[in-house]
Amino acid sequence: MIGIVLVSHSAKVAEGVAELAREMGGADVRLEPVGGLDMPDRPMGTDAVLVMRAIDRVWSDDGVLVLMDLGSAVLSAEMALDMLPTDRRERILLCEAPFVEGAVAAAVAARLGKSLAEVAEEARGGLGPKAAHLGMPAPSPADSVSAPDAGEAAGPHASVRLLVENPLGLHARPAARFVQTAGRFDADVRVTNRTTGAGPANARSLNAVATLGVRQGHQIEVVAWGPEAQAAIDAIGALAADRFGDDEGQSSAAARGDAGAAEATAFVAVDGTLSGLPASPGVAVGPALHVRPPDIEIPSAPAGEPKEEWAALEAAIEATRVEISTTRATVAARADEQSAAIFDAHLLFLEDEELIAPARSVILDGGRGAGQAWKEAVDRVAGMWRALDDPYLRERAADVEAVGAQVLANLLGDASARPSVTGGGVLIAADLTPADTAGLDPAIVVGIATALGGPTSHSAILARSLGIPAVVGLGRGVLEIAEGAVVIVDGERGTVRPDPDPAHVAEAERRAATFQASEAAARAEAARPATTRDGTSIEVLANVGLPADVEAALDAGAEGVGLLRTEFLFIGRDAMPSEQEQEAAYRSIAEPLGGRPLIVRTLDVGGDKPLPYLPVPAEANPFLGLRGLRLGLARPDVLRTQLRAILRVAADHPVKVMFPMVTSLAELRVAKALVEEARHEVEGAGGRVPSNLEVGIMVEVPAAALAAEVFAADVDFFSIGTNDLTQYTLAAERGNERVAGFADALHPAVLRLIWMTARGAASRGRMVGVCGEIAGDPLAVPILVGLGVRELSAAPPAVPRVKRAVRETDLGSARALADRAIRLDSAEAVRAAAGEAAARVAGGHVEPGVTPSG
């Protein structure tokens, strides 16, 4: 690409014209304004040395075009030329073209890759459009500022007219594919909406293309110039033939307002009810609340020099790019490529010249702060989207704003800023991270409905622990529900009904009341022990993630904490909590427990719980990667710090430690050696430690269950993490709604592993518990007890239900049911058998006991 130098008597004029030219030609045009003298009292004038330096800065072997305003500007440009070596001089052209119009025409032509002579020609014709407008006869080569009809343009070009058949036209995803395709070629590509006359628009700008408002049935014309013009047109033609990558299913899904994600599980009934996966029990009615980007305060004045401000914005954009790429990879792994492709549009926003160029120019040339400049650019582009007729496209403004807010959060260092909701109602979101969910207030959020996610994802677990009814995996149709529209979230049936009629609202409210009454009845006797009818005591504990959960756990009748998910102390911050901080947090949980047991699980991150300050290299299968104890052993410094904090608290309280995702005895032994090292370190520092710290493992991979007997010699207890054990046994990822149908912890294969664990544990008299989500399902309670489990740890709101289920069973019938369950052939059959048994128990009939033996 050639370079362009603009020489004026006034620096302001030169910069203003450069800004205009960049706006038209694109920010990567090699363009240098130079004007005025470097003298405070005489700012007007021109200086040959400054011109020469400007030529140096834009130097290109393709040549440099110099445009000048008048008088001494021309003389200074000539002198500058004289100062340059001959071989350079030959490739510089001083052009008589009009300064403003010539600069604009030259910038566009240069950006199209035209030669020095061609660019000069375009510049000379710069007055053409103005002349034509004013009725002067001056046909102009500068018509190429906009896309000419095929055949009119100079240089290699190609064009095609296409009928857009996608139901939603060139909406975000097809538009993104269009822009990506156009951008692959050495060609300048412009697109015009022939049906509405909008355009031409730069095909490398997603905002420009998508805001052409191309809908189904519209005709577009695509014109390309440059060496690969034909190849670009061919590729775009092929893309159009492929309906811009929208497959049939997606297109029809899109036509009914469901943009395609989670298609496998999402189902929309004729009355508009959306079906997903039940994730947290209960029924809620309330207005839809869409997750809003966080509120970020933008400083009114720049914090640094323009160059620093620009560099800060570039760094924030890059950090956001990394974040979105990570999310994309996670969604692609959890859902599919089609669902993940929505993030491609978000990535393209980060490169879009419609956003970047104005921000850059007001920072570098206008002296504005990076935050203000970025916000203004985002608001302008979001406004462009909002002005469109098509309701679907109008909603893409929210995508621009979300990405814009993410950049601002990175720019202004507010990494903890979380999406927020205002008012009370049913939260609607594409997906929620565990950190987002942890920040929800059940007093404000009465229900949750998400497009993605599975029922044992960590956000679903949190929803259960907060007692908020939730349905996940609803597909993107849920995102189309209007803000404020009344919705019913049915966490039992896994449905969401928007705009219900009064009869449905009344029915939902009745069911909500019945659920709450049953919960209240269970809670009323929650303080009583959980003893089976024939006198076997089952310890019912709570899973907690935050000190604040302990009160809820005790109120619910929990006899202690069976699983403290310590990662929630680590998530949502920029740096590792110190040993003192951890000790204080664990104490604040142990103290209110008043001598009840507390099982602290060491940090379990990786998989769907990444930590920014403990980065794990990209993994194709993060759930099979450096996760749980594996990560702890890879970072023994982190694990030892945590163990020291745990030991200090265990000196005063009945604390046990438990390692997550243990696969082999060898790793357990290394972990136990770290406990001993941590013990010596605390003692060495004058701290107190318990004489004995009980150490247990989570049984989360089939290897640990199968080898429980081998582990039994080295551990004090086992706790079965059925969420992970189910995903690993049934090869069905826990957060992936598309395979959620496979991942039922009541599958006989999982039950057999639980039974093997119990048998292995019993060989050495070790206690075995279950702390996965299935422990909170009353239907599962008799089966688990029958398999030999003696401790159940569940989300606090589930504790009263679990205790009641224990009291309603007896060991004999529980064993009979378990024995039958492990011999059945599917989770559905087990659920049916458990349902029948529950009905029989309710009818007062108890079966004789049989020990599981299969």
Q: Using CA atoms, how far apart are residues 563 and 699, in angstroms rounded to an integer?
A: 13
* Minimum distance of Mg ion from residue 661's CB (angstroms): 6
Find the shortest distance in angstroms from Cβ 659 to Mg ion: 11
- CA distances (Å), origin 343, targets 207, 265, 583: 15, 21, 40
Q: How far is the CB of 628 from Mg ion (least distance, A)?
A: 7
Which partner in Mg ion, ligand PEP, none is near 760 (CB below 5 to 8 A by kind)?
A: none
Asked whether position 565 contacts ligand PEP by CB under 6 A, the answer is yes
Scan for tokens 């998530």, then name that residue.
571
Q: Which is nearer to ligand PEP, 79 or 703 (CB)?
A: 703
Interface residue with ligand PEP, options 723, 736, 757, 813 (CB under 6 A): 723
Q: Which stretch binds ligand PEP (CB under 6 A): 26-34, 477-485, 649-657, 715-723?
A: 715-723
111 or 565: CB nearest ligand PEP: 565
Q: Which is nearer to ligand PEP, 36 or 560 (CB)?
A: 560
- To ligand PEP, the closest distance from the beta carbon of 729 in angstroms equals 12
Measured between alpha carbons, how far is 650 from 678 in angstroms, rounded to an integer? 13
Structure tokens at 565: 């998910």
Q: Which residues contact 475 (CB under 8 A, 6 or more apart)?
A: 253, 258, 260, 261, 262, 263, 265, 266, 267, 268, 274, 276, 451
What does the block give as tokens for 263? 């298609």
Count the residues of the shown chain that bind Mg ion, applying the rule CB under 5 A: 3
**The two three-digit tokens of residue 350, written as one number:** 């980060």
CB of 545 to Mg ion, least distance (A): 13
Spatial separation of the C-alpha atoms in residues 599 and 565, rounded to whole Å:
9
Angle in degrees, CA 758, 764, 765, rounded to 5: 70
Q: Check binding of 769 to Mg ion (CB under 5 A).
A: no
Shortest Cβ 702–ligand PEP spacing (Å): 13
47 binds, among Mg ion, ligand PEP, none (CB under 5 to 8 A by kind): none
- Residue 60: what are its φ and ψ, rounded to 5°? -145, 140
Among 724, 773, 777, 810, binds Mg ion (CB under 5 A): 724
Site of tokens 């219900």? 500
How many CB atoms lie under 10 A from the CB of residue 10?
17
Measured from the Cβ of residue 633, the count of other Cβ atoms closer than 10 Å reads 16
405 DSSP assignment: H
Q: Is residue 212 helix, strand or coil?
A: coil
Say whether residue 772 binds ligand PEP (CB under 6 A). yes
Which residues, other chains included, contact 222 with Cβ-Cβ below 8 Å and sequence gap of 6+? 159, 160, 161, 162, 189, 190, 191, 203, 233, 236
565 interface partner picked from ligand PEP, Mg ion, none, CB below 5 to 8 A per type? ligand PEP
Per the annotation, the verdict on 771 as an active-site residue is: yes
Task: Quote the least distance from Cβ 563 to ligand PEP, whole Å.
Answer: 6
Round to whole Å and give the CA distance between 531 and 104: 84
> Taking contact as CB under 6 A, which single stretch among the options 191-199, 573-581, 688-696, 721-729 is the one that binds ligand PEP?
721-729
Cβ contact 650:693 at 8 Å: yes
Contact status: 608 vs Mg ion (CB under 5 A): no
Residue 567 near Mg ion by CB under 5 A: no
Query: ∠608-660-448 over CA atoms, to 5°?
Result: 40
Q: Which does 608 bind (CB under 5 to 8 A by kind): ligand PEP, Mg ion, none?
A: none
Please report whether residue 738 would count as binding ligand PEP according to CB under 6 A: no
Contact, 475 vs 285, CB < 8 A? no
Residue with Cβ nearer ligand PEP (464 or 523): 464
Nearest residue to ligand PEP, by Cβ distance, number only: 721
User: Token pair 């039940």 is at which residue?
Assistant: 278
Helix (H) or strand (E) holding 648: helix 636-650
Task: Work out what residue 744 binds among ligand PEP, Mg ion, none; the CB cut-off runs from 5 to 8 Å by kind.
Answer: none
Contact 601, 658 (CB under 8 A): yes
Query: Does the active-site annotation cover 747?
Result: no
Binds Mg ion by CB under 5 A, chosen from 721, 735, 760, 796? 721
**What is the spatial distance between Cα 830 and Cα 696, in angstroms, rounded to a whole number?**
29
Residue 771 binds which one of Mg ion, ligand PEP, none, with CB within 5 to 8 A depending on kind? Answer: ligand PEP
Which residues, 600 to 639, sit near ligand PEP by CB under 6 A?
A: 604
The reply on whether position 776 binds ligand PEP by CB under 6 A is no
Task: Count residues binding ligand PEP (CB under 6 A).
Answer: 11
Which x/- pattern over 20-59 shows residues binding ligand PEP (rule: CB under 6 A)? ----------------------------------------
Q: What are phi and psi of 618, to 5 degrees?
A: -55, 135
| 700 binding ligand PEP? (CB under 6 A) | yes
First-to-final CA distance of the chain: 76
In the region spanning residues 535 to 564, those forming contacts with ligand PEP, defined by CB under 6 A, are 563
DSSP bridge partners of 544: 564
Beta carbon nearer to ligand PEP, 59 or 728:
728
Nearest approach in angstroms of CB 775 to ligand PEP is: 9
662-672 b/e with 16+ CB inside 10 Å = b? bbebebbeebb
Give the sign of the dihedral formed by CA 447, CA 448, CA 449, CA 453: negative
Task: Pick the closer one to ligand PEP by CB: 320 or 722.
Answer: 722
The region of 45-53, 124-132, 439-447, 716-724 touching Mg ion under the rule CB under 5 A is 716-724
- For residue 547, count other CB atoms closer than 10 A to its CB: 19
* Active-site choice (346, 458, 653, 747): 458
Regarding 722 and contact with ligand PEP (CB under 6 A), the answer is yes
CB count within 10 Å of CB 423 equals 10
Give the shortest CB-724-to-ligand PEP separation in angstroms.
Answer: 3
Residue 776 contact partner, candidates ligand PEP, Mg ion, none, CB within 5 to 8 A by sort of partner: none
- Rounded least distance, CB 743 to ligand PEP, Å: 12
Contact positions with Mg ion (CB under 5 A) in 655-714: 700
List the one residue from 721, 735, 760, 769 that touches ligand PEP (CB under 6 A).
721
Nearer to ligand PEP, 6 or 605 (CB): 605
- Whether the CB-CB separation of 142 and 200 falls below 8 Å is answered with no
d(CA 17, CA 22): 9
Residue 700 or 733: the one with the smaller Cβ distance to ligand PEP is 700
Least distance from Mg ion to the Cβ atom of residue 724, Å: 4
Report residue 444 as tokens: 């404000």
Q: Which positions lie near ligand PEP, rule CB under 6 A?
A: 461, 563, 565, 604, 700, 721-724, 771-772
- Catalytic residue numbers read 458, 771
Q: Which positions lie near Mg ion, rule CB under 5 A?
A: 700, 721, 724
